[in-house]
A = this chain, B = another copy of it.
């Protein structure tokens, strides 16, 4: 099982072999990540929530590739901006614990602004 650090290293090597860091500005990477996230969403475009589980199986190879693309750009951004993604997730979960206290949010999909 790999750490994010190890994965980031792999992504770095791939990028640097191609001399692509010059294109990896925060604006470009954010745009690229958003484009990949949309390609992931497109797989489920006309599905119902229920049928999307089947689609995930039928398009499993595509799905894994789009998810990988999202993570690759996220790691690229973390690298360029020197951000610790593990720490960012821990801190965001901590913040979300305050925004979404269990007793108010249990079983509800409302946004914290509407709790």
CA distance A45 to B12 in the complex (A): 20
A73 to chain B, nearest CB (A): 9
Do A89 and B7 touch (CB < 8 A)? Answer: yes
Do A107 and B18 touch (CB < 8 A)? Answer: yes
A10-B106 in contact given A26-B52, A31-B41, A52-B26 (Cβ < 8 Å)? no
Q: Among the listed B28, B64, B65, B91, which residue makes an inter-chain contact with A49, where contact means beta carbons less than 8 Å apart?
A: B28
> What residues of chain B lie closer than 8 Å to A93, measured between beta carbons?
10-11, 14, 68, 72
A110 to chain B, nearest CB (A): 9
* Chain A binding surface, main DSSP class: helix
Q: Among the listed B18, B44, B86, B107, which residue makes an inter-chain contact with A100, where contact means beta carbons less than 8 Å apart?
A: B18
In this complex, the interface size class of chain A, counting residues with CB under 8 Å from chain B, is 35 or more
A2 to chain B, nearest CB (A): 4
Q: Among the listed B27, B70, B86, B90, which residue makes an inter-chain contact with A74, where contact means beta carbons less than 8 Å apart?
A: B70
Which residue numbers of A lie inside 8 Å of B, CB to CB?
1-5, 7, 10-11, 14, 17-20, 22-23, 25-28, 30-50, 52-53, 55-56, 63-65, 67-72, 74-75, 77-78, 81, 83, 85-86, 88-93, 95-97, 100, 102, 105-107, 109
